[in-house]
Amino acid sequence: MDTKQLLAIIHAIAKKVEAEKDYLSQLDNEIGDGDHGINLARGFKAVEEKIQTFADKDIGAIFKGVGTVLVSTVGGASGPLYGTAFMKAGNVCKGKMTITAEEFTAALDAAINGIKMRGKAVEGEKTMLDALCPAYKAIKESIDGGKNLIDALTNGVDAAAAGVEYTKTIIATKGRASYLKERSLGHQDPGATSSLYMLQMTLKTLKEA
């Protein structure tokens, strides 16, 4: 993956988040405060506006730049969480103009660990981690098994989609939805859904490149 592809991925995520803004907010309305789509759309709009200032830098700096903008513009819990994720991915890719499939996997791992650290959450608490952790596992296994990044991401997206479905079957124990206790059952987690979109857009963009 090179910087041009990464910028295209970020652009695709921004477009997707804007397109699904109402749907994400509706999901959040059921078990939260109904702003997840608004939050992310505001954040990625700001990313699109500021991306010029770091677009010519290395992959690490681009990830970091995106993370910094998200932290200061999203406004909801997903801001510090996704912001930390992008910043941690940036640390792994520091100074690199291209990254290998292995480095991409390591960046995803660092991003997920960043979310766990910031949110003090683990898998199974009905959060974005329930999409991201299974996706990471599938991607890592695929890469270790000799698959290329596109095939690995295809498996990762499938695993994330299954993870999103799984969030309907569990009770939230982190974030706003945890106030609802068992009434959070049957509802799909908005953050897991937006994480799925990010992985989908990564795959779609790399396929088109």
Rounded CA-CA distance 7/32 in Å is 31
Task: Look at residue 115 and give the partner it binds from another protein, ligand ADP, Mg ion, none, a contact being a CB closer than 5 to 8 Å depending on partner kind.
Answer: ligand ADP
Rank residues 183 and 207 by Cβ distance to ligand ADP and give the closer one: 183
Rounded CA-CA distance 155/47 in Å is 28
Site for ligand ADP in 30-49 (CB under 6 A): 32-33, 35-36, 39
For position 88 contacting ligand ADP by CB under 6 A, the verdict is: no
CB 189, min distance to another protein, A: 15
Query: Rounded to the nearest 5°, which phi and psi values hold at 98?
Result: -135, 155
- Residue carrying the six token digits 């010029």: 52
Rank residues 75 and 186 by Cβ distance to Mg ion and give the closer one: 75
**Quick check: 175 and 129 in contact, CB under 8 A?**
no
Site for another protein in 142-181 (CB under 8 A): 175-176
CB 18, min distance to ligand ADP, A: 15
Task: Look at residue 121 and give the partner it binds from Mg ion, another protein, ligand ADP, none, a contact being a CB closer than 5 to 8 Å depending on partner kind.
Answer: ligand ADP
**Quick check: 144 and 164 in contact, CB under 8 A?**
no
Rounded CA-CA distance 3/62 in Å is 8
Q: Determine which residue in the list 33, 141, 151, 158 makes contact with Mg ion, applying CB under 5 A.
A: 33
The Cβ of residue 117 has, within 10 Å, a number of other Cβ atoms equal to: 12
Site string for another protein, 54-83 (x = CB under 8 A): -----------------xx-xxxxxxxx-x
For position 30 contacting Mg ion by CB under 5 A, the verdict is: no
Rank residues 154 and 178 by Cβ distance to another protein and give the closer one: 178
Contact residues for 140 (Cβ-Cβ < 8 A; gap 6+): 105, 109
Site string for Mg ion, 116-155 (x = CB under 5 A): ----------------------------------------
Rounded CA-CA distance 109/111 in Å is 5
**Quick check: 96 and 144 in contact, CB under 8 A?**
no
Secondary structure element (H or E) that encloses residue 44, with its range: helix 36-50
Binding site for ligand ADP (CB under 6 A): 28, 32-33, 35-36, 39, 76-78, 81, 115, 119, 121, 127-129, 174-176, 189-192
